[in-house]
Amino acid sequence: MTTTQPRTTQSINQEQLASLIANIRGTVIQPTDAKYDLARTIHNAMIDKHPALIVRCADAADVMHAVNFARANDLLLAVRGGGHNVAGLSMCDGGLVIDLSEMSGVRIDPERRTARVEGGATWGKLDHAAHAFGLATPSGIISTTGVAGLTLGGGFGHLSRHYGLSCDNLLSADIVTADGQFRTVSADKNPDLFWAIRGGGGNFGVVTSFEFRLHPVGMVYGGPIFYPVEKTEQLLNFFRDYMRQAPIELSAFFSFHQGPPAPFIPEPLHFVPMVAIVVCYSGDDPAQGEELVRPLRQVAEPAVDLVGMIPYPALNSMFDAIYCPGLQHYWKTDYEPRLLDGAIKVHSEYGPQVPSLQSTMHLYPQSGAIQQVGRSETAYGQRDVEYVHNIVAIDADPANMPRNMAWMRAYAEALRPYSAAGGYVNFLMADEGQERVKATYGDNYERLVDVKTAYDPTNLFRVNQNIKPRG
């Protein structure tokens, strides 16, 4: 990516800028700096934004300075955790970006089974540090994703049916709010803010560190099983009943992928559309995992079966290479309250047409431990839907995106009759509108507005799926 629209910082109070630079331990990156283009590059290559300043913070004190500076200069403010948000909500045009990428420390307390994680860490860092103690906490399925954005929006992955959403495992957090104050939030301290950040996204401040509960997860029985797409309808019918009966220790999601050109996939299947069911059994007894997965091996002849004992961090980074940075992304997501026969027919029609190596549809069960938390216990309110589907158009070549997006749009449109009004906040694009955000939070929306009004009355933190303050 190159700079097509150089921005200067001339409109910013130069005295205050000099003071910011002098006061912080991190780096202030300006459009004229050699590092600028790299620093404004995020995971989705479709995003090409040009902030006036990028403040790469070294600690919470830097974050406080940067928040105060943005507020005093009336600058649009974006916050970058892992930079994975496909809507590009970690960057902005013309404003200030608080970049946390150098605040990525992780400290494990093996006795208390907790992890203290800085606001710019990725899941790979946490997985690795915790695995040394045979511990883990629910994350996403790609290890390069940021802990912060994923957790603040909810967060689900291979361990979520067993141990809940990432935000359900949050014990406390340190957050710098719009007034520049540093606050610790937990069930006992600032409980309203603690409630709001568990699902309410980046609306309430900059989280400088998270404290998570960890669980005994070392080796898991997991991986993908690929099947011919001709079996889609049969597989989905089976999968629906299978997941309704599965113990919570077993997570699995259903997907369509072109066979990756990897040595463990037979060459005739490279780039061939296939169904992939990705499983993860995280219970104590591997033999039970094998027993639980057996029906998946019997329902139809697998084309490739890669399920086995694997360290959790290895499972969690298995697909990183396919979803490397620099690809073009556009996504369409919806909650599917129940997987109905009509929806199965739609998936069976469109899934097998998956148009590129990275484009896909993932159908994530939202059952198990996710549903053991009440709808109003955290801001993440969609606790009683059966599935989230995410239809994603991804390609390395921008010229191929119209074809990928046409497939994605037609597929999502055909599923509309089976979809709820809201969507998973971390998968939404930037242009989906305020009604969609409201529908996403449902009954929790008004309470979120109350917390937003109390802590961010001028909507300083608005580069997100925005919850607007009153007034």
Ligand X SMILES: Cc1cc2nc3c(=O)[nH]c(=O)nc-3n(C[C@H](O)[C@H](O)[C@H](O)COP(=O)(O)OP(=O)(O)OC[C@H]3O[C@@H](n4cnc5c(N)ncnc54)[C@H](O)[C@@H]3O)c2cc1C
Residue ranges in contact with ligand X by CB under 6 A: 43, 78-86, 89-90, 100, 119, 140-142, 145-146, 148-150, 152-153, 155-157, 201-202, 206-207, 323, 426, 463-464
Whole-number minimum distance, CB 10 to ligand X, in Å? Answer: 26
Whole-number minimum distance, CB 142 to ligand X, in Å? Answer: 4
Residue environment code for 130-147, b if the CB has 16+ CB neighbours within 10 A, otherwise e? bbebbbbbbbbbbbbbbb
- Residue nearer to ligand X on the CB measure, 138 or 259: 138
Whole-number minimum distance, CB 394 to ligand X, in Å? Answer: 8
- Residue nearer to ligand X on the CB measure, 95 or 355: 95
- Asked whether the beta carbons of 174 and 63 are under 8 A apart, the reply is no
- Residue nearer to ligand X on the CB measure, 66 or 299: 66
- Residue nearer to ligand X on the CB measure, 302 or 355: 355
User: In angstroms, rounded to a whole number, what is the distance separating the alpha carbons of residues 47 and 138?
Assistant: 28
In the block, which residue shows the tokens 């073009």?
Answer: 328
Instruction: Tell me how many degrees the CA angle 153-157-158 measures, rounded to the nearest 5.
Output: 160
The tokens for 258 are 């072109």
**Distance from CA of residue 176 to its chain's centroid?**
21
Residue environment code for 237-273, b if the CB has 16+ CB neighbours within 10 A, otherwise e? ebbbebbeebebbbbbbbbbbbbbeeeebeeebeeeb
Whole-number minimum distance, CB 395 to ligand X, in Å? Answer: 14
Going by DSSP bridges, is the β-strand pair 328-336/387-395 parallel, antiparallel, or unpaired?
Answer: antiparallel
Please list the residues that pair with 212 across neighbouring strands: 115, 170
Task: Provide CB contacts within 8 A for 298, sequence distance 6+.
Answer: none
Q: What element of type H or E holds 277?
A: strand 273-281
- Residue nearer to ligand X on the CB measure, 155 or 422: 155
Whole-number minimum distance, CB 309 to ligand X, in Å? Answer: 22
Whole-number minimum distance, CB 400 to ligand X, in Å? Answer: 18
- Residue nearer to ligand X on the CB measure, 281 or 299: 281
- Residue nearer to ligand X on the CB measure, 303 or 429: 429
Q: What is the dihedral of CA 265, 283, 424, 101, to 10 degrees?
A: -80
- Residue nearer to ligand X on the CB measure, 85 or 255: 85
The tokens for 112 are 């208390």
Task: Provide CB contacts within 8 A for 311, sequence distance 6+.
Answer: 131, 218, 219, 220
The tokens for 339 are 């997987």
Residue environment code for 338-352, b if the CB has 16+ CB neighbours within 10 A, otherwise e? ebeeebbebbbebbb
- Residue nearer to ligand X on the CB measure, 345 or 436: 436
Whole-number minimum distance, CB 178 to ligand X, in Å? Answer: 12
User: In angstroms, rounded to a whole number, what is the distance separating the alpha carbons of residues 215 and 232?
Assistant: 34
- Residue nearer to ligand X on the CB measure, 56 or 231: 56
- Residue nearer to ligand X on the CB measure, 43 or 198: 43
Going by DSSP bridges, is the β-strand pair 96-99/53-56 parallel, antiparallel, or unpaired?
Answer: parallel
User: In angstroms, rounded to a whole number, what is the distance separating the alpha carbons of residues 42 and 78?
Assistant: 13
Whole-number minimum distance, CB 255 to ligand X, in Å? Answer: 11
The radius of gyration computed from the CA coordinates of the chain, to the nearest angstrom, equals 22
Whole-number minimum distance, CB 360 to ligand X, in Å? Answer: 10
Count of CB atoms within 10 A of residue 102's CB? Answer: 16
The tokens for 80 are 């970058």
Whole-number minimum distance, CB 201 to ligand X, in Å? Answer: 6
User: In angstroms, rounded to a whole number, what is the distance separating the alpha carbons of residues 348 and 346?
Assistant: 5
- Residue nearer to ligand X on the CB measure, 137 or 348: 137
Whole-number minimum distance, CB 342 to ligand X, in Å? Answer: 26
Whole-number minimum distance, CB 331 to ligand X, in Å? Answer: 9
